[in-house]
Amino acid sequence: MIRVLVVEDSATMRHHLRESLASDPELQVVGEAVDGAQAVEMVGRLRPDVVTMDMMLPTMSGLVATEHIMAEFPTPILVVSSADRQELFSTYNALAAGAVDVLEKPRGDASDAGWARRLCAAVRLVSRIRVITHPRARLDGRHRTDRPRPAAPASPATPRSGDDAALRLVSVGASTGGPGALTELLRALPADFGAPVLCVQHIAASEPFAVAFSDWLAGQTGRDVAYARDGMRVRGLAGRVLLAPPDRHMYVGDGLVRLSTAPPRHSCRPSVDVLFESVAAEYGSSAAGCLLTGMGRDGAGGLLRIRTQGGVTFAQDEASCIVYGMPREAALLGAAAYVLPPARIAARLADLARTGTRR
């Protein structure tokens, strides 16, 4: 049995969660908490296999409860939240603090068909993830809030264009645990880092959750972050961060960013492999590929393609991964020249952008 703690202040929603989970014989609700403080206490006492976590809770918010749980009793947390903008930002903060996935609450319309099945599948999935004491969740006694942490102010340095930089383009892929890893990497890049950064982040949630990710990431990192549009010229993207839009592959070709609804790869659309393979063909030795935390194998083959074309390649190290799946596959293939935590990947990218050295 997979033992589940439900954290939700609405009695109606708790009943819905309990009934939905009861439909799966592999799942057992072992407790229900109505606020964050009670959730932390019950995780320590009951040691559930999975926590379903609401964000907007009395006394202690879902975000602060997530930080406490990941610091004191690391447990796979599935955020079950609404698409309200304030709640969306708290949800991404919780994902950066160690929660592993998100499921939107029922909307009360036709989209609710099959919601109970999706909930049970998500709980079973996250129960298999070996979580760590998340670095951002180690508590030091300071006051925590739901507000995004402000990024360090950018210096007035002007980014170099792609033609002038030794490194012309950086491609990044991430899945489970990716919001935190991607934030750490982008924060650690220097303010004048000039190469465009193209990112595929798997977000297994509805479009409202996915669309808000760019705004959240920009607020966390202080960088220019946006979703890609088909036909954007790569030469005009110096210093910018582009994300693959929900349910669209992103790739590069003939100097342009292209979007596609081609079939999924590794059950993923967008797919990291689609991006990496195009980057290898288009930019070769002037490109970098970075594969961050995530479940599955998407991106490993594409990262190897970048390396064989002379580009520099990175995989996130196991100690800093929420899920050491995609980076592990890359390491097994010999696709990663460097295996490092995100901040050290950023430092190496900055060095490459300055000098072009590929020792």
Residue (of 144, 242, 253) closest to 199 by Cα position? 242
d(CA 62, CA 78): 11
Residues 68, 134, 202, 249: which is the catalytic one? 202
Residues 20, 81, 175, 320: which is the catalytic one? 175
What interhelical angle do 300-308 and 272-283 show, nearest 10? Answer: 10
Q: Nearest 5°: phi and psi at 298? A: -60, 130
Residue (of 291, 265, 266, 283) closest to 172 by Cα position? 291
* Catalytic residue status for 202: yes
Peptide bond connecting 208 to the previous residue in cis, omega within 30 degrees of 0 = no
* Catalytic residue status for 298: yes
Would you state the structure tokens that stand for residue 269, as one six-digit string? 């659309």
> 3-class DSSP state for residue 157?
coil
Residue (of 106, 104, 52) closest to 75 by Cα position? 52
Would you state the structure tokens that stand for residue 23, as one six-digit string? 């439909």
57: Cα separation from own chain's centroid: 23
How many CA atoms are closer than 13 Å to the CA of 239, on its beta-carbon side? Answer: 17
Residues 101, 273, 298, 317: which is the catalytic one? 298
Where would I find the H helices in the chain?
11-22, 36-46, 62-72, 85-96, 115-127, 178-188, 207-221, 272-283, 300-308, 326-333, 342-355
CB-based burial label for 72 (10 Å; 0-12, 13-18, 19+): middle
User: Active-site residues: which are they?
Assistant: 175, 202, 298
